Amino acid sequence: MEGSAPRRTRIQQEKRELILEAALEVFSANGFRGSTIDQIAEAAGMSKPNLLYYFRRKEDIHETLMQRLLDTWLAPLRELDDTGDPLTELRSYIRRKLEMARDFPRESRLFANEILQGAPRIKPMLEGELKTLVDEKAAVIKGWMRAGKIARTDPWHLIFSIWATTQHYADFDVQVRAVLGADRGGDGRFEDAARFLEQLFLDGLKPKG
């Protein structure tokens, strides 16, 4: 672990941000191995050796990107509040995740790419940080079930299904657009999805009666 943050000049901070932004664009579209340093450098408006002055290896860029990603990616789940109203909390969570798929599709695809390849670079984080968080929230949901606030079911698979359905609109965007066609595949598709998912999940989770 590097104890203190490495001191960086103003230019270094700016250029690193520029590179990370460009790398997100390129990596999310072509995957890690499918992307070249040249592509990223060009997208960032600089030469390859110049880029390599800021990040010594291609992997360093990817690693930095993944570290930042995971924090923001799990933020919605962290916000799930055990003191709030269960149905409202879950509905909010679904909405927030869907908004992330809409507003940050590149981040979603970058993440999907990494998992698809077997998560070689972030498996420890999945088994550690992520598992801890999900277990914690699953316990919260279980509490809601015991209290009769929502139907009894498996909290872990419930979380998986929320991830799957929302991220689908970012990761499989091309397919969604192709199937919906030019008219229905426009900007309104996320509102349609939001309405559908709310109905699917809430009606399925309502306590009997």
Work out the number of other CB atoms within 10 angstroms of the CB of residue 82.
13
Q: Is residue 63 at the binding interface for a second copy, with CB under 8 A as the rule?
A: no
Candidates 41-49, 88-96, 127-135, 144-152; binding stretch for DNA (CB under 7 A): 41-49
Give the distance, in angstroms, between the CA of residue 162 and the centroid of all CA atoms in the same chain.
12
Length of the chain: 209
Q: Which is nearer to a second copy, 20 or 35 (CB)?
A: 35
Q: Is residue 67 at the binding interface for a second copy, with CB under 8 A as the rule?
A: no
Q: Determine contact, residues 14/96, Cβ cutoff 8 Å.
A: no
Q: Which of 57, 123, 152, 195 binds DNA (CB under 7 A)?
A: 57
Minimum distance, C-beta of residue 36 to DNA, in the bound complex (Å): 3
Q: Determine contact, residues 35/22, Cβ cutoff 8 Å.
A: no
Work out the number of other CB atoms within 10 angstroms of the CB of residue 87.
16
- Alpha helices, H only, 48-172: 48-54, 58-78, 86-103, 105-116, 123-125, 131-146, 155-171
Q: Which of 48, 91, 106, 168 binds DNA (CB under 7 A)?
A: 48
Kindly list the residues in this chain that would bind a second copy in the complex (CB under 8 A): 29-34, 109, 112-113, 115-119, 123, 126-127, 130-131, 134-135, 151, 153-154, 156-158, 160-161, 163-165, 167-169, 171-172, 174-176, 178-181, 184, 192-193, 195-197, 199-206
